[in-house]
Chains A and B, each alone.
Chain A
Amino acid sequence: MIALTVNGTAYRLETAPDMPLLWAIRELVGLTGTKYACGVAQCGACTVHLDGAPVRACVTPVAAAAGRTVTTIEGLAPKTDHPLQRAWIELQVPQCGYCQSGQIMAAAALLAQKPTPTDADIDAAMAGNICRCGTYQRIRAAIHRAAALAAGGAR
Chain B
Amino acid sequence: MFEPNQWLRIDRDGVVTITSSVPEMGQGSMTTMPMIIADELDADWSKIRVEQAPADPARYANPVTGSQSYGGSRGVRDHLATWRKAAAAARQMLREAAAREWNVPASEVETEPGVVVHRPSGRRLLYGQLVDRAAGLTVPQNPTLKTKDQFRFIGRETPPPRLDLPMKVNGTAVFGLDVTVPGMLVASIERCPVLGGTVQAFDATAAQAVPGVRHVVQVSSGVAVVADGTWAALSGRRALQVTWDEGPLARLTSEQISREYAKAARQPGLAAKTVGDAAGVLAAGTPLEAVYEVPFLEHACMEPMNATAHVTADACHVWAPTQNPGGTRAVAARLTGLPPERVTVTTTLLGGGFGRRGEVDFVRDAVETSRAVRVPVKVVWTREDDIRHGFYRPATYNVLRAALRPDGRPAAWWHRVVGPGILVQKGYARKGGVDRAAVAGAADLPYDVDALQVEWVDKDLGVPVGFWRSVGSSQNTFVTESFVDELAHAARKDPYAYRRALLGKAPRHRAVLELAATRAGWGSPLRSGLARGIAVAFSYGSYAAHVAEVSVAPDGTPRVHRIVCAIDCGFPVNLDQIRAQMEGGAVYALTAALYGRITLDRGRVQQSNFHDYPMLRMAEMPKVETHIVDSGEAPGGLGEPGVPSVAPAVTNAIFALTGTRIRRLPIDRELLRRA
Residue of A nearest to B31 (CB): A92
Assembled-state Cα–Cα distance A92/B584 (Å) = 13
Mark interface residues in B164-179 (1 if CB within 8 Å of A CB, else 0). 1110111111110110
- Inter-subunit contact A94/B161 (CB<8 Å): no
Q: Which segment, of B329-337, B346-354, B399-407, faces chain A?
A: B346-354
Chain B residues, CB < 8 A from A67: none
Smallest beta-carbon distance A62→chain B, Å: 9
Confirm or deny: A42 has a beta carbon within 8 angstroms of a beta carbon on chain B: yes
Chain B residues, CB < 8 A from A43: 302, 610, 615
Confirm or deny: B259 has a beta carbon within 8 angstroms of a beta carbon on chain A: no
Mark interface residues in A125-148 (1 if CB within 8 Å of B CB, else 0). 011011111111111100000000
Residues facing B in A79-103 (CB within 8 A) are 80, 84-85, 88-89, 92-101
Residues facing A in B177-196 (CB within 8 A) are 177-178, 180, 186
Residue of A nearest to B303 (CB): A98
- Inter-subunit contact A135/B583 (CB<8 Å): yes
Smallest beta-carbon distance B182→chain A, Å: 13
Contact count A vs B, C-beta below 8 Å: 179
Q: Which segment, of B43-51, B95-103, B442-450, B618-626, faces chain A?
A: B618-626
Q: Which segment, of B21-29, B272-280, B480-488, faces chain A?
A: B21-29
Confirm or deny: A122 has a beta carbon within 8 angstroms of a beta carbon on chain B: yes
Chain A residues, CB < 8 A from B300: 132
Mark interface residues in A57-84 (1 if CB within 8 Å of B CB, else 0). 0000000000000001110110010001
- Inter-subunit contact A73/B26 (CB<8 Å): no
Assembled-state Cα–Cα distance A104/B165 (Å) = 13
Assembled-state Cα–Cα distance A2/B125 (Å) = 60
Smallest beta-carbon distance A141→chain B, Å: 11
Assembled-state Cα–Cα distance A100/B167 (Å) = 11
Assembled-state Cα–Cα distance A72/B170 (Å) = 9
Confirm or deny: B557 has a beta carbon within 8 angstroms of a beta carbon on chain A: no
Smallest beta-carbon distance A39→chain B, Å: 6
Assembled-state Cα–Cα distance A35/B303 (Å) = 8
- Inter-subunit contact B168/A42 (CB<8 Å): no
Residue of A nearest to B162 (CB): A92
- Inter-subunit contact B229/A133 (CB<8 Å): no
The contact of A31 among B171, B301, B304, by CB within 8 Å, is B171
Confirm or deny: A33 has a beta carbon within 8 angstroms of a beta carbon on chain B: yes
Q: A129-B618, A134-B586, A140-B621 are in contact. Are A94 and B352 (CB under 8 A)?
A: no
Chain B residues, CB < 8 A from A1: none
Smallest beta-carbon distance A124→chain B, Å: 8
- Inter-subunit contact A132/B231 (CB<8 Å): no
Smallest beta-carbon distance A119→chain B, Å: 9
Assembled-state Cα–Cα distance A127/B177 (Å) = 25
- Inter-subunit contact A94/B351 (CB<8 Å): no
Assembled-state Cα–Cα distance A97/B177 (Å) = 13
Chain A residues, CB < 8 A from B615: 43, 130, 132
- Inter-subunit contact A96/B352 (CB<8 Å): yes
Q: A35-B303, A37-B383, A96-B352 are in contact. Are A89 and B584 (CB under 8 A)?
A: no
Smallest beta-carbon distance B647→chain A, Å: 14
Residue of B nearest to A38 (CB): B383
Chain A residues, CB < 8 A from B619: 123-124, 127
Most chain B CB within 10 A, of A33, A77, A85, is at A33
Confirm or deny: B451 has a beta carbon within 8 angstroms of a beta carbon on chain A: no
Q: What is the interface size of chain B, counting residues whose CB is below 8 A from a CB of the partner? A: 59
- Inter-subunit contact B303/A85 (CB<8 Å): no
Smallest beta-carbon distance A104→chain B, Å: 6
The contact of A134 among B350, B351, B353, B588, by CB within 8 Å, is B588
Chain B residues, CB < 8 A from A131: 302, 587
- Inter-subunit contact A33/B161 (CB<8 Å): no
- Inter-subunit contact A96/B302 (CB<8 Å): yes
Chain A residues, CB < 8 A from B304: 36-37
Mark interface residues in B14-39 (1 if CB within 8 Å of A CB, else 0). 00000000001111100000000000
Assembled-state Cα–Cα distance A16/B235 (Å) = 11
Residue of A nearest to B611 (CB): A42
Chain B residues, CB < 8 A from A138: 580, 583
The contact of B172 among A20, A33, A133, by CB within 8 Å, is A33
Assembled-state Cα–Cα distance A136/B588 (Å) = 12
Smallest beta-carbon distance A41→chain B, Å: 10
- Inter-subunit contact B618/A97 (CB<8 Å): no
Most chain B CB within 10 A, of A36, A40, A139, is at A36
- Inter-subunit contact A98/B171 (CB<8 Å): no
- Inter-subunit contact B302/A42 (CB<8 Å): no
Chain A residues, CB < 8 A from B27: 95
Residue of A nearest to B625 (CB): A137
- Inter-subunit contact A130/B229 (CB<8 Å): no
- Inter-subunit contact B174/A32 (CB<8 Å): yes
Chain B residues, CB < 8 A from A137: 583, 621, 623-624
Smallest beta-carbon distance A15→chain B, Å: 8
- Inter-subunit contact B621/A80 (CB<8 Å): no
Assembled-state Cα–Cα distance A60/B28 (Å) = 34
Confirm or deny: A10 has a beta carbon within 8 angstroms of a beta carbon on chain B: no
The contact of B352 among A80, A129, A132, A139, by CB within 8 Å, is A132
- Inter-subunit contact A134/B165 (CB<8 Å): no
Assembled-state Cα–Cα distance A72/B624 (Å) = 31
The contact of B351 among A19, A33, A98, by CB within 8 Å, is A98
Residues facing B in A1-49 (CB within 8 A) are 16, 19-20, 23, 26-28, 30-40, 42-43, 45
Chain B residues, CB < 8 A from A133: 26, 302, 352, 584, 587
Smallest beta-carbon distance A86→chain B, Å: 9
Confirm or deny: B609 has a beta carbon within 8 angstroms of a beta carbon on chain A: yes
Confirm or deny: B218 has a beta carbon within 8 angstroms of a beta carbon on chain A: no
Confirm or deny: B453 has a beta carbon within 8 angstroms of a beta carbon on chain A: no
Chain B residues, CB < 8 A from A85: 169-170
The contact of A92 among B24, B580, B617, by CB within 8 Å, is B580
- Inter-subunit contact A74/B170 (CB<8 Å): yes
Assembled-state Cα–Cα distance A16/B616 (Å) = 36
- Inter-subunit contact A126/B172 (CB<8 Å): no
Confirm or deny: B241 has a beta carbon within 8 angstroms of a beta carbon on chain A: no
Chain B residues, CB < 8 A from A134: 583-588, 616, 621
The contact of B171 among A34, A129, A132, A136, by CB within 8 Å, is A34
Chain B residues, CB < 8 A from A132: 300-302, 352, 354, 587-588, 615
Smallest beta-carbon distance B178→chain A, Å: 4
Chain B residues, CB < 8 A from A36: 177, 230, 304, 380
Chain B residues, CB < 8 A from A122: 618
- Inter-subunit contact A139/B618 (CB<8 Å): yes
Chain A residues, CB < 8 A from B576: 92
Residue of A nearest to B210 (CB): A16
Assembled-state Cα–Cα distance A37/B301 (Å) = 9
Q: A96-B353, A137-B583 given. 4 additional CB < 8 A pairs?
A: A32-B174, A33-B172, A132-B301, A136-B621
17 A-B residue pairs with Cβ-Cβ distance under 8 Å, sorted by A, are A23-B231, A27-B186, A28-B229, A31-B171, A32-B180, A39-B383, A43-B615, A74-B170, A96-B349, A96-B352, A96-B353, A99-B302, A124-B619, A130-B615, A131-B302, A132-B587, A137-B583
A-B CB proximity, top 10 nearest: A33-B171, A134-B587, A98-B351, A96-B26, A97-B168, A95-B26, A134-B584, A73-B171, A136-B621, A123-B619
